[in-house]
Amino acid sequence: MTAPLAKYKIVDLTRVLSGPFCTMLLGDLGADVIKVESPGGGDPIRQQEAGRNGMSWYFATFNRNKRSIVIDLKAEEGREALARLIREADVLVENFRPGVLARLGFSAERLQELRPGLVTCSISGFGANGPYRDRPAFDFIAQAMSGFMSTNGGAADPPLRSGLPISDLVSGIYAALGIVSALLRRETSPDRPAEHIDISLTASMTSLLAYVASHYFATGEVLPRAGNDHPIASPYGLFQTADQPIAIAPSDTVFFRRLATALDLPELLDDPDFDTAPSRIRHRQRLNGIIEARLRTSGAADWIDRLNEAGVPCGPVYDVAGVFADAQMKAQEMTITAEHPEYGEVRMLGFPMKFAQQPCVVRRPPPLMNEHASEILDALGIEADKRHRLAGMNEHPLAANPNEA
């Protein structure tokens, strides 16, 4: 039994979020991911957010199942070492601004000379084509310009971002999908073709516009923001109970009937205002009022049991503490722990894809910076006397095999 990507080597030149999320997914799928970090601190996310024993747990959330080496790409020795890495790689992922990698001496042509059939992937804010290709972009700008923010919040509120770096994350998953697809194409084509995949944060988010886009395409209308209401379903949203609010989403009339029965409100079924979805949407406020008055007679946990029993989609609104205390998330192993000989235990998010035969595992805890330099350089056959300026001048311990001393 081998993991899906066990035979592939990924050279990862990315930093911060989208690229590292992509390569972590590839590492979770079994690939050997070599994270190439810059001298002077490495991936900036190493310095961000809370951690323990010198390891940022934010970094950890994006960098398990990788090996780390610091290479100064501004130095000739560094570029030579990268070329040697690429010669043995299957995939190269980068999130420099468009053109930077070529200026470092690694044009598309050179990459294919170094390793014919190499799959390459670039991740940027706006993509490699178009008038904004050179603009800097971060998650928030992509949330704003993709239309995503315009769909969040109430009609009277300003457009609202997600608190999560959602465009980094979604583009990272698309990048992984593009890369694995290109590897599959290479494996199943006699000429083992190369491929390049260009991923942008903005287009990734735009691809999720769903009914907001299709409604606009078909009618020319921009749907108003609906907050927690659903524009084409009612009742739907957050409802107060005797203690906590609960989310209820009966998507159609069948589910609405179940809801009315579970709430012991048979009169809803006889009320002509509520007999079709459009009518329930028109009378949303009155309907919500009746439902909430009933829900306030008991607590959230009780109602969640009763509504689920009746087959009505519903649930609590969890914050992060609630999520990881929940029995289902525990059963789904959505937190996992790894142990590192140097910094000890680190807790991370679990795997979203559950493979029955060959599950994802943490083969490696998140790496210390430059942790695997020696073994990587040894395997490349780069001799100790050529490692001097590889990791930048005097900024980091030289990458030498400790057994050689």
Judged by beta carbon, residue 167 or residue 370, the one nearer its own copies is: 167
DSSP string, 315-348: EE---HHHHHHSHHHHHTT-EEEEEETTTEEEEE
Judged by beta carbon, residue 62 or residue 256, the one nearer its own copies is: 62
Shortest distance, CB of residue 27 to its own copies, whole angstroms? 12
Q: How far apart, in Å, are the Cα atoms of 244 and each of 301, 304, 311? A: 9, 11, 21
Shortest distance, CB of residue 305 to its own copies, whole angstroms? 10
* Residue 313 binds its own copies (CB under 8 A): yes
Judged by beta carbon, residue 345 or residue 375, the one nearer its own copies is: 345
Interface with its own copies in residues 336-365 (CB under 8 A): 347-358
C-beta neighbour count of 121 within 10 angstroms? 26
* Residue 405 binds its own copies (CB under 8 A): no
Q: How far apart are alpha carbons 79 and 325 in whole angstroms?
A: 47
Judged by CB under 8 A, the number of residues near its own copies is 152
Q: Hey, what amino acid is at 216?
A: Y
230 catalytically annotated: yes
Interface with its own copies in residues 17-36 (CB under 8 A): 17, 25, 29
Backbone angles phi, psi at 207, to 5 degrees: -65, -10
* Residue 328 binds its own copies (CB under 8 A): yes
Shortest distance, CB of residue 128 to its own copies, whole angstroms? 8
Can you tell me which of 214, 276, 297, 401 binds its own copies, judged by CB under 8 A? 214
* Residue 185 binds its own copies (CB under 8 A): yes
DSSP state of 46: G
Q: How far apart are alpha carbons 70 and 41 in whole angstroms?
A: 9
- Confirm if 237 and 315 have CB atoms less than 8 A apart: no
Shortest distance, CB of residue 81 to its own copies, whole angstroms? 26
Can you tell me which of 270, 321, 381, 404 binds its own copies, judged by CB under 8 A? 321
Q: Which among 196, 215, 230, 388 is annotated as catalytic?
A: 230
DSSP state of 19: H
Interface segment toward its own copies; rule CB under 8 A; list 69-77, 242-250, 260-268, 284-292? 242-250
Interface with its own copies in residues 133-162 (CB under 8 A): 135-141, 143-153, 158-162
* Residue 298 binds its own copies (CB under 8 A): no
C-beta neighbour count of 95 within 10 angstroms? 27
State whether the Cα torsion 190-193-199-203 is positive or negative: negative
- Confirm if 247 and 315 have CB atoms less than 8 A apart: yes
Q: How far apart are alpha carbons 119 and 182 in whole angstroms?
A: 7
Judged by beta carbon, residue 219 or residue 285, the one nearer its own copies is: 219
Shortest distance, CB of residue 243 to its own copies, whole angstroms? 15
Shortest distance, CB of residue 263 to its own copies, whole angstroms? 16
Interface with its own copies in residues 264-293 (CB under 8 A): none
Interface with its own copies in residues 57-86 (CB under 8 A): 57-58, 60-62
Joined tokens for residue 318: 């969890």
β-pair type (245-248, 237-240): antiparallel
Interface with its own copies in residues 84-123 (CB under 8 A): none
- Confirm if 109 and 158 have CB atoms less than 8 A apart: no
3-state secondary structure of 200: strand
**Residues identified as active-site:** 230
